């Protein structure tokens, strides 16, 4: 009988954890109860910091850069935040329980879902790279709808934010996909917030402004299509490469923080570059743009390529918990679906 006790205890914790799923982040307003001035909290919100978790993701040097916050105030704010959020060590078992909050959003294709271990993960960055017409933006449009499905239908039960740098978002494309999943197209489109970015600075500012929206409403997906395009335009030549990579790293860091702070899935598309040094033995010497900075930031990297006709192939290029294998899917009027032989 004694042998079962730890098991029972574990299940209890698990149940509590599921009930507390709503409190994934602590609102910044809680600082007021710990003796922080409401005016200072307002300054943090104006700087795009809406949760205590988000606050702990900023360096003190960053925080003192906010107008009206002295070093002494920042020290006090950080001390108060540390009391609210545990940012120390946790055990492996607790980390496993935390992973239970991760939602997997269906891609619309069962084969692709199986390849990804259930779908696109929240609290992680999924990067899809490939040539034009390989299905990256089609998957983005399908996810716009599937994220809004209830959890029982392998959806995310939340809203979608879409940052478009290439002008490829088509609301009329979302309509037939919504119909395929049996959803009201008008309601689906109302739950998508969309922004078109024209410069890399604009793109970064749009990410900063997202925190306010995500703290108020249940978002489950952020799409950036494509992450690199504006950096390739705004920075030219080798002389600006180091600067470009640093700015790119800052933006990717922001994406990782959004993913973890609000438990949203980040899906970003990436372009490919020709690799002249790719060697004679590689039939198709192309590699993803963005270099090592982008490679290390993405949690899961997927390589898309064209198959025959409407078929596309997705290969797991790099992932911490998935084997390197492939899945074939098809682009249909209703979005991404399983390939028909």
Q: d(Cα 191, Cα 133) in Å, to the nearest integer?
A: 26
pLDDT digit string (tens) for 143-187?
999 999 999 999 999 999 999 999 999 999 999 999 999 999 999
Its sign, for the CA torsion 252, 117, 24, 157, is: positive
pLDDT for res 340: 86
pLDDT for res 8: 40
Report pTM.
0.88
pLDDT for res 23: 57
Half-sphere exposure (Cβ direction) of 133: Cα atoms closer than 13 Å? 6
The list of the chain residues with pLDDT below 70 reads 1-24, 278-284
pLDDT for res 274: 84
pLDDT for res 283: 62
Q: Nearest Cα to 115, choosing from 255, 277, 333, 304?
A: 304
pLDDT for res 281: 64
Is residue 187 classed as helix, strand or coil in its secondary structure?
Answer: helix
Q: Nearest Cα to 197, choosing from 172, 161, 245?
A: 161
For 38, the token pair is 């409401």
pLDDT for res 20: 40
Find out whether 302 and 314 touch, Cβ atoms under 8 Å: yes
């Amino acid at each position: 009988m004694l042998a079962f006790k730890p098991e029972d205890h574990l299940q209890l914790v698990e149940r509590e954890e599921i009930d507390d799923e709503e409190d994934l982040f602590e609102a910044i307003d809680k600082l007021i109860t710990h003796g922080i001035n409401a005016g200072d909290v307002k300054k943090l919100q104006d700087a795009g910091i809406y949760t205590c978790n988000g606050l702990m993701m900023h360096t003190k040097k960053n925080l003192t850069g906010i107008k009206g916050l002295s070093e002494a105030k920042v020290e006090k704010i950080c001390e108060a935040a540390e009391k609210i959020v545990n940012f120390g060590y946790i055990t492996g078992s607790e980390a496993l329980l935390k992973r239970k909050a991760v939602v997997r959003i269906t891609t619309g294709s069962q084969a692709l879902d199986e390849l990804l271990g259930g779908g696109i993960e929240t609290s992680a960055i999924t990067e899809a790279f490939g040539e034009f017409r390989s299905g990256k933006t089609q998957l983005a449009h399908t996810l716009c709808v599937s994220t809004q499905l209830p959890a029982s239908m392998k959806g995310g039960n939340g809203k979608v934010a879409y940052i478009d740098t290439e002008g490829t978002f088509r609301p009329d494309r979302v309509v037939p996909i919504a119909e395929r999943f049996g959803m009201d197209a008008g309601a689906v489109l109302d739950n998508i917030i969309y922004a078109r970015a024209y410069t890399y600075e604009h793109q970064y500012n749009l990410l900063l402004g997202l925190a306010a929206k995500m703290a108020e409403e249940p978002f489950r997906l952020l799409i950036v299509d494509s992450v690199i395009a504006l950096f390739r335009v705004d920075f030219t030549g080798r002389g600006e490469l180091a600067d470009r990579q640093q700015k790119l790293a800052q933006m990717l860091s922001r994406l990782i923080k959004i993913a973890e702070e609000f438990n949203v899935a980040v899906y970003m598309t990436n372009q490919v570059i020709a690799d002249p040094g790719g060697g004679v033995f590689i039939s198709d010497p192309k590699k993803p743009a963005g270099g090592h900075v982008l490679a290390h930031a993405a949690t899961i990297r997927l390589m898309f390529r064209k198959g025959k006709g409407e078929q596309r192939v997705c290969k797991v290029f790099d992932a911490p918990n998935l084997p390197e294998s492939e899945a074939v899917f098809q682009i249909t009027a209703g979005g991404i679906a399983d390939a028909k032989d």
